[in-house]
Amino acid sequence: MFDFFWNLASFIVALGILIAGHEYGHFWVARKCGVKVEKFSIGFGKAIWRKTGKDGTEYVIAMIPLGGYVKMLDERVEDVPEHLKHQAFNRKNVWQRIAIVSAGPIANFILAIIALYAMYLIGVPSIKPVIDTTTVGSPAQVIQLDEPHQVTAVAGQKVRNWEEVNLALVGQIGSDKFDISVMPLNTLADPEHASKTYKLDTRNWRFDPEKESPITALGLGIFRPAIDPVIAAITANSAAELAGLKVGDKILNINQQPYKDWNGFVDVVQTSANKQISMTVERQGERLTLDVTPQAIVNGKGEEVGIVGISPTAPQWPENMRFDLEYGMIDSVTAAVDKTWQLVVVSFKMIGKLFTGDVSVKNLSGPISIAQGAGTSATYGLVHFLGFLALISVNLGIINLMPLPVLDGGHLLYYFVEVITGKPVPEKVQEIGFRFGAALLLMLMSIALFNDFARL
């Protein structure tokens, strides 16, 4: 229940910031173009707070935080007194209308830059993207490894942590081939000279983002430090608690076989649903052997597996693999702009891949997934929440630029047609377009919501 309210609160905060930024873009440019703004609303429905400013604009925060709007004086919507007609939106020239409408998405891109700027100033705790194996038969099998190597570039784009690797790989979905550069982890040489580049054949590279990451699907074996087999947490009423296991116990043997690694231990447990196994642990210098019967659950693949309800002590990453990705006051601007541009490019590519079929519509996410993402990122701290905010802000800006008549992009499409033809698009044509756009948008939202519920 706490997770639900935490996700909801994080979602409202994130969405409120994004909507406020988007609508303020429209508002600010409209005012600069001499348009009278009657209402600035964050949210829909009944107002929970309202105030009329000295400028005559009514500022509102409404109950349903799923959008917002800027109501401008417009003769197409209502009768406008003669002395105010020069302040009506429809009386402005086409380039002013284009500026007002495009200001919303542009504000989202600016907001992303601001969020990333703050993130880089604070510093992002990061792990170097180090691989120690590649999967036989995968596109990455051509990479030769005799020791851990750090990934330095994907398709010519420099990468410094796993987040950047993941983002770069997502942008290559559907590509027939691309390059990956790696270098030995402990080399002191300049990365550009120490790196070796491999060309990967990705014509048969397919993966389901719901089940795996593009990193592992490509065949890259992520280096992970060995997990200390000391129990850090036990779930209440779990098989482990019922068997008498305690926090601090160190696992020595499973079914009379020496403990080797955590993955091996998990394999034994998962294949022993409702079957008794023996565990030998060390507790305060003494060896104890306890019988544990893993409880059966059904995993995401519909398979019955066993669980005992314990968590190991978090592994410690080597010092030479940890770093804070941060910049100074000036460099943070460049880094933030560059990262925003990367997000924009990848987002446009993903939209294109939806139409080509390289990415399934099953990967569309709606408000529930966004809420979960907001809650998770907020749990990790301000830095991660800022990164999440930037990602969603960029996507919100891009979605609004799509040429659907109910979105900003649809209005811009009509205005550019007006620029070319020299006359406005007929209102009857616009109305038909709005209905079509609303139907298509409703369909996309329905698919996204269906996907959200399917993931719960």
Q: What is the secondary structure of 294-355 as a DSSP string? A: PEEEE-TTS-EEEE--EEEEPPPPPGGGEEEE---TTHHHHHHHHHHHHHHHHHHHHHHHHH
Number of residues that make up the chain? 456
CATH 3.60.60.10 fits domain 228-313: no
Q: Is the pLDDT of residue 186 over 90?
A: no
How many of the other CB atoms lie within 10 Å of CB of 160?
Answer: 17
- What are 370-382's pLDDT values in tens digits? 445 545 555 556 8
- What are 198-213's pLDDT values in tens digits? 999 988 887 766 667 8
Given the DSSP bridges, would you call strands 177-184 and 149-154 parallel, antiparallel or unpaired?
Answer: antiparallel
Task: Give the model's pLDDT for residue 366.
Answer: 46
Of the candidates 67, 72, 15, 17, the one whose C-alpha atom is nearest the C-alpha of residue 43 is 67
- Give 429 or 36, the one with higher predicted confidence: 36
For residue 368, name the pLDDT band (cuts at 50, 70, 90): very low
**What is the rounded radius of gyration, in angstroms, for the C-alpha atoms of the chain?**
27
Q: Is the pLDDT of residue 260 over 70?
A: yes
Q: Is the pLDDT of residue 331 over 70?
A: yes
- For residues 410 and 434, give the distance between their C-alpha atoms in angstroms, rounded to a whole number: 8
Task: Give the model's pLDDT for residue 376.
Answer: 54
CA neighbours within 13 Å on the CB side: how many for 338? Answer: 10
* Residue 213, SS3 per DSSP: coil
Evaluate whether 126-225+316-325 and 228-313 have a shared fold: yes
Nearest 10 degrees: Cα torsion 431, 433, 434, 437: 160
Q: Is 340 exposed, middle or buried (0-12, 13-18, 19+ CB in 10 A)?
A: buried
- Strands, E, within 207-260: which ranges? 220-222, 228-234, 250-254, 257-258
Q: Which of 116-125, 200-209, 418-427 has the lowest mean pLDDT?
A: 200-209
Mean pLDDT for all residues in the chain: 83
- Give 209 or 298, the one with higher predicted confidence: 298
Task: Give the model's pLDDT for residue 379.
Answer: 54
Task: Give the model's pLDDT for residue 449.
Answer: 56
CA neighbours within 13 Å on the CB side: how many for 290? Answer: 22
Q: Is the pLDDT of residue 358 over 70?
A: no
Catalytic annotation on 23?
Answer: yes
Q: Is the pLDDT of residue 193 over 90?
A: no
Q: Is the pLDDT of residue 146 over 70?
A: yes
> 23, 38, 303, 319: which one is catalytic?
23
- For residues 339 and 116, give the distance between their C-alpha atoms in angstroms, rounded to a whole number: 8
What single letter denotes the amino acid at residue 190?
Answer: D
Task: Give the model's pLDDT for residue 26.
Answer: 92
Q: Which CATH class is domain 126-225+316-325?
A: mainly beta
Six-digit token pair at 155?
């398709």
The stretch 234-238 carries a mean pLDDT of 90
The domain segmentation of the chain, as residue ranges, is 1-32+93-123+328-456, 34-91, 126-225+316-325, 228-313
Q: Which of 5-19, 227-241, 298-312 has the lowest mean pLDDT?
A: 5-19
Task: Give the model's pLDDT for residue 118.
Answer: 93
Chain-centre distance for alpha carbon 100: 28
Enter the pTM of the model. Answer: 0.74
- What are 59-77's pLDDT values in tens digits? 998 887 778 888 999 888 8
**Residues of the chain above pLDDT 70, percent:** 85
What's the angle, vertex CA 384, arms to CA 379 and CA 386, rounded to 5?
Answer: 115
Q: Which residues pair with 387 in a beta bridge?
A: none
What single letter denotes the amino acid at residue 355?
Answer: F
- Give 448 or 16, the one with higher predicted confidence: 16
Task: Give the model's pLDDT for residue 451.
Answer: 55
- What are 148-159's pLDDT values in tens digits? 899 999 998 889
- For residues 313 and 23, give the distance between their C-alpha atoms in angstroms, rounded to a whole number: 46
Task: Give the model's pLDDT for residue 426.
Answer: 85
Task: Give the model's pLDDT for residue 380.
Answer: 59
Instruction: End-to-end CA distance of the chain: give it in Å, rounded.
Output: 14
